[in-house]
């Protein structure tokens, strides 16, 4: 398959691509073969447009975040690997804050569960780009006195991968903090979907089936208490 056309088109939207490029440096295990084309994207419009361009050219693609939960085959990947480095976050003012419950362990009727937010804590909604790394996000939010991600502190994941896997730290699951997310559907629509949509479970979200891409998400976090975190 020739990647000339798609590489040229991606270049016009400012996405840097390399042909026959190793995927290993973008994963924790640092093994495996080459991608036919490897693209680094650093904004949500680039993530959205790169996927649409892959689909237009009928070329298989795979979005990677931190690469901390993938093992790449020695045969590599026939298609486009998209490394998601889309960063950025903002506080959503005047947004109704849903009353979230820790879902995953409740579903398994576990005795000790963690409620994402304790009574009396001031809640805040933060919209986060899916390529943000969790430790960096946590530290940046601390500077604004926002806490809530501490149980995930050492995990080298991105927000997108954390939703895909319903990442967990101790008894808290990432999905427990999710009010809604903005996803790119297989029909190329950008949709707002709520926590229930993901059917979060242990190491599971509906994204395993739907193959949709998370662009960004709205997390319910805590205002204050970052000094105790």
Ligand X SMILES: Cc1cc2nc3c(=O)[nH]c(=O)nc-3n(C[C@H](O)[C@H](O)[C@H](O)COP(=O)(O)OP(=O)(O)OC[C@H]3O[C@@H](n4cnc5c(N)ncnc54)[C@H](O)[C@@H]3O)c2cc1C
Task: Quote the CA–CA distance of 67 and 87 in Å, as a whole number.
Answer: 16
| Binder of ligand X out of 21, 34, 50, 69 (CB under 6 A) | 69
Closer CB to ligand X, residue 157 or residue 177? 157
- Under the binding rule (CB under 6 A), the answer on residue 65 touching ligand X is yes
- Under the binding rule (CB under 6 A), the answer on residue 39 touching ligand X is no
- Under the binding rule (CB under 6 A), the answer on residue 161 touching ligand X is yes
- Under the binding rule (CB under 6 A), the answer on residue 164 touching ligand X is yes
Closer CB to ligand X, residue 63 or residue 125? 63
Q: With the C-alpha atoms ordered 170, 173, 174, 176, is the resulting torsion angle positive or negative?
A: negative
- Site residue total, ligand X (CB under 6 A): 27
Closer CB to ligand X, residue 80 or residue 162? 162
What's CA 123's distance to the chain center, in Å?
Answer: 22
Q: Which of residues 168-227 bind ligand X (CB under 6 A)?
A: 168-169, 207, 213-214
- Under the binding rule (CB under 6 A), the answer on residue 98 touching ligand X is no
| Binder of ligand X out of 21, 34, 46, 84 (CB under 6 A) | 84
Closer CB to ligand X, residue 119 or residue 187? 187
What's CA 134's distance to the chain center, in Å?
Answer: 9
Least Cβ distance, residue 10 to ligand X (angstroms): 18
Least Cβ distance, residue 6 to ligand X (angstroms): 19
Which residues lie near ligand X (CB under 6 A)?
28, 62-70, 84, 130, 155-158, 160-162, 164-165, 167-169, 207, 213-214
């Amino acid at each position: 398959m020739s990647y000339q056309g798609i590489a040229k088109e991606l270049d016009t939207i400012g996405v840097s691509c390399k042909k026959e490029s190793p995927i290993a440096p973008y994963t924790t295990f640092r093994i495996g073969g080459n991608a036919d084309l490897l693209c680094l994207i650093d904004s949500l419009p680039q993530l959205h447009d790169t996927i649409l361009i892959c689909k237009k050219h009928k070329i298989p693609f795979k979005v990677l975040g931190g690469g901390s939960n993938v093992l790449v085959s020695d045969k590599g990947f026939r298609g486009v690997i998209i490394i998601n480095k889309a960063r950025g976050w903002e506080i959503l003012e005047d947004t109704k804050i849903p009353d979230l419950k820790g879902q995953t362990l409740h579903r398994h009727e576990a005795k000790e569960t963690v409620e994402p937010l304790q009574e009396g804590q001031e809640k805040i909604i933060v919209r986060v780009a899916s390529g943000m790394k969790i430790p960096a996000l946590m530290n940046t939010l601390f500077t604004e006195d926002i806490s809530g991600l501490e149980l995930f502190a050492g995990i080298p994941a991105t927000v997108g991968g954390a939703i895909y896997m319903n990442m967990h730290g101790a008894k808290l699951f990432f999905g427990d903090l999710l009010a809604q997310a903005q996803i790119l559907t297989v029909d190329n629509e950008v949709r707002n979907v709520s926590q229930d949509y993901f059917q979060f479970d242990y190491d599971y979200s509906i994204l395993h089936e739907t193959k949709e891409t998370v662009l960004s998400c709205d997390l319910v976090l805590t205002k204050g208490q970052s000094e105790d975190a």
